[in-house]
Amino acid sequence: MLKIDRSACDECGTCISICPFDALVFNPGLKVDDAKCVSCGKCVRICPFGALSLAAEMSSANPSGCPETETV
């Protein structure tokens, strides 16, 4: 899941321009649409201030929300 660090985000919009899934939007601050986001990480790498990060998925397969130890 994409996390936005509000204190670091400068609202420049670069992440919005690079998102292939149209999952990021200003409304009026930066918001992520979790239904559209596929956690590809493009926005995380492009952020000039490092305000975005990917946290481990919280899914029904992993209800505890603990980070998965194995990835496919």
Partner 1 sequence: MENETFDIVVVGAGPAGSMAALHAAKAGRKVCLFERKPVVGVPVRCGEGIGLKGMTASIDVNPKWIRTKITKACFVSPSGIKVPVGRMDESYIINREIMEQDLVDMAAKAGAVYRNSTSVNAVKPLNGNWYVCETSGASVKAKCVILAEGIESRLARGLGWKTDLSAEDVETCAFCHVDHESIKGDTVDFYVGSGYAPGGFVWIFPHGKGRANVGLGILGSFHDAGRSKEYLLKFVERFYPDAKISDLHCGGVPVAKWQKPLVRNGVMLVGDAARQVNALSGAGIGYGLYAGRIAGEISAASFTGTECDYKSLKQYEKKWASFYGKQQMRSYSLKKMLMTNNNDKFYDSVAKSFVGANPEKMGYMRIFFRAFAKHPGMLVKVFLLFR
Interface residues with partner 1 (CB under 8 A) are 10, 12-14, 16-20, 22, 25-28, 42, 44-50, 52-53
Contacts of 70 (CB under 8 A, 6+ apart): none
C-alpha dist (Å) from residue 4 to 12, 35, 62, 72: 13, 16, 22, 25
Min CB(46)–partner 1 separation in Å: 5
Min CB(24)–partner 1 separation in Å: 8
Q: Which is nearer to partner 1, 27 or 71 (CB)?
A: 27
